Structure 1
Amino acid sequence: MQALLDAIAAMPLPTDAVRIFHGRGGRHPGCEQWSLDAYPPVFVLTSFAPVTEPELAAVNEALQARWAQIAPAGEPLNWVFQHRGEALRVEGRSETRLMAGAVPDPHTVTEAGARYRVQVLRGQNHGLFLDMAEGRRWVREHVAARRGDRPGLKVLNLFAYTCAFSVVALQAGARQVVNVDMSHGAIGTGQQNHQLNGLSAGASFLAHDIFSSWGKITRSGPYGLVIVDPPSYQKGSFVATKDYARLIRRLPDLLAPGGHALLCLNAPELDTAFLQQQVRELAPELAFVERVANPAVFADAQPERALKVLVYAAPPL
């Protein structure tokens, strides 16, 4: 675990939510089980394999030492440990322990000037996926570049989760964002995120199963930007290998002329070619534009196992 300890020893004081160490990328042999994130003012250490108490003690010592060097005066070290071993993952569970300090309640973090509500003491999803930071940056820049368009850009945010894409799109000047996610809890947090950022208009929130709501979704269109960020696998809800095709078939009817689609895939077993082939077969009129790079800290020894974010464009009028 030396690479993890070295990363802690060199980390700057985090102000935004950010990943600090990404062992899962396979670029640090022997540290594949570890990741370390900052959700200021809390650090979250995650292990995907069993750990020993001496290992946790070593991390605590490293964090305490670095915190003594970089912390603002009087601020205590707060950190949480989460174990997501194989048996727990199969059951969809995790074990979380508060190791030092405390966690704010409510807990709000920032990223690129936007504020988000997170929770790090329960569940595996904390409310903001840090590997999607560059995707959110792309949306912000794309929408801002079109804020002068009339009548304004309309965005469809599918599998919206806590609606972070919606927040950045509205901040950048989108006219309207339609957020769709089957989780009432996630949509509720998404509404809180809009309130945190002073966004009182322009967003709608549909806590619906996307595949049962195409009529409502289509009637609200067409859209200048469609964001598709599904789970890679969610039993009873979404399986990428069979369900992504159902989404791609709909894109030509959802997109306005010249509109763009941001297609996200976070399944290590499926590569970029999987998405590209699906688009070629099911929506051939869409043109590939680019693959959005992941944040540098998420670099992977096998890039095709990492998050894939692809941009496509519909033909203009």
Structure 2
Amino acid sequence: MQALLNAIATMALPTDAQRVFHGRGGLFPGCEQWALDAFPPVLVLTSFQAVSDDELATIGVALSTRWAQISPDQPLNWVFQCRAEGHLETRLMSGEVPDPHVVTEKGSSFRVHVLKGQNHGLFLDMAEGREWVRRMVRNYGADQPRLKVLNLFAYTCAFSVVALQAGAKQVVNVDMSHGAMAIGQQNHPLNGITTGATFLMHDIFKTWGKITRGGPYGLVIVDPPSYQKGSFVATKDYAKLMRRLPELLAPGGYALLCLNAPELGLDFLQDQMKELAPELKFVERVANPVVFADVSPERSLKVLAYQMPSLPASVEHAA
């Protein structure tokens, strides 16, 4: 636990939503169970193993001590969540959680819910993926039509928010979770976005006709759960998405493929893309936030960018 306590003792006052300590990456032996996140003005401590009251008390003292140093005029608000099988719980340990609870990330605002469920409404490890989308949309050719984006497994639509803020013409968000999409619909006006976003609350695999008719898209974002019974299993369902990419993408368009499954390495995505969508060229792996460093890059979140070839100049001119 000492590495976690050291991180608490040196943490700065968080303003944006961010991870403070990432034991899951395996770089701090003995602390693999711990994660500490900031969803200002709330800190969320997560353990993936059962925890004793003494351990929680020790961490609570460390948090209180550091908070008194970096924010002496504000109360400490912190939540503990245990994700160990048979010990699932979420507990408010000190202070309170705002309702509604809105956090920021690089100028964008998002609603979160740290007391309900295991997913809080914003995946912090995808911060650099969202920044990649922001840059890609901003840098899209000025001589091209404004970008149309397809956001598959949209969850609370954070990708949609940053794409529209960066200048995208339209984002089609698709997700079968009505609860997540309801939050996504709230996130857009929260950022002053009143047009450009479409929300399809459907099973993606039963909505291909409508999705395809809305294209072609300059950017397709694929960010599925690695395993969600009855919805998506990466080992059998990701291939179905890859096969569709060539017909969904405009010439020169990009696909951003995301996968958070420690048991599946880069080759899971890359080998299948070579086989199922060979037209697309691998561009880069988007780096994860530094705080999410992992002893094995193969185990950590994978975010890969691919691009469709552009039309030859003569064809573009004829069009």
Q: Does 1:232 align with 2:226?
A: yes
Q: Which residue of structure 2 lines up, in the alignment, with residue 256 of structure 1?
A: 250
TM-fit CA distance, 1:87: 3.8
Q: Which residue of structure 2 lines up, in the alignment, with residue 20 of structure 1?
A: 20
**Large movers: runs of 4+ above 4 Å:** none
Q: Which residue of structure 2 lines up, in the alignment, with residue 215 of structure 1?
A: 209
Q: 1:145 aligns with which of 136, 139, 146?
A: 139
Q: Which residue of structure 1 lines up, in the alignment, with residue 10 of structure 2?
A: 10
Q: How many residues align?
A: 311
Structure 1 unmatched ranges of 5 or more: 89-93
Query: 2:145, 2:137 → 1: CA distance?
Result: 13
Query: 1:299, 1:147 → 2: CA distance?
Result: 33
C-alpha offsets along residues 122-181 of structure 1, whole Å, 9 cap, x if unaligned? 100000000000000000000000162432000000000000000000000000000000
Q: Does 1:41 align with 2:35?
A: no
Q: Does 1:164 align with 2:140?
A: no
Q: Which residue of structure 2 lines up, in the alignment, with residue 91 of structure 1?
A: none
Q: 2:287 aligns with which of 287, 293, 312?
A: 293
Query: 1:175, 1:118 → 2: CA distance?
Result: 26
Instruction: State the secondary structure of the residue aligned to 1:281.
Output: helix
Q: 1:199 aligns with which of 169, 182, 193?
A: 193
Query: 2:86, 2:268 → 1: CA distance?
Result: 29
Which stretch shows the higher mean deviation, 40-49 or 149-158?
A: 149-158
Query: 1:18, 1:57 → 2: CA distance?
Result: 23
Query: 1:87, 1:272 → 2: CA distance?
Result: 32
Return the letter of the residue paired with 2:126.
M
Instruction: State the secondary structure of the residue aligned to 1:304.
Output: coil
Q: Does 1:98 align with 2:95?
A: no
Return the letter of the residue paired with 2:160.
S
Query: 1:78, 1:195 → 2: CA distance?
Result: 27
CA contact (8 A) 1:83 1:95 kept: yes
CA contact (8 A) 1:48 1:85 kept: yes
Instruction: State the secondary structure of the residue aligned to 2:210.
Output: helix
Instruction: State the secondary structure of the residue aligned to 1:305.
Output: coil
Q: Which residue of structure 1 lines up, in the alignment, with residue 75 of structure 2?
A: 76
C-alpha offsets along residues 233-265 of structure 1, whole Å, 9 cap, x if unaligned? 000100000000000000000000000000000
Query: 1:252, 1:151 → 2: CA distance?
Result: 19
TM-score (norm 1): 0.97
Query: 1:86, 1:60 → 2: CA distance?
Result: 23
Instruction: State the secondary structure of the residue aligned to 2:37.
Output: strand
Q: Which residue of structure 2 lines up, in the alignment, with residue 135 of structure 1?
A: 129
Query: 2:57, 2:143 → 1: CA distance?
Result: 56
Instruction: State the secondary structure of the residue aligned to 2:198.
Output: strand
CA contact (8 A) 1:147 1:153 kept: no
Return the letter of the residue paired with 1:250.
R
Q: Which residue of structure 2 lines up, in the alignment, with residue 271 of structure 1?
A: 265
Query: 1:267, 1:238 → 2: CA distance?
Result: 13
Instruction: State the secondary structure of the residue aligned to 2:269.
Output: helix
Query: 2:270, 2:143 → 1: CA distance?
Result: 29
Identity rate, percent: 74
TM-score (norm 2): 0.96
TM-fit CA distance, 1:86: 3.0
Instruction: State the secondary structure of the residue aligned to 1:249.
Output: helix
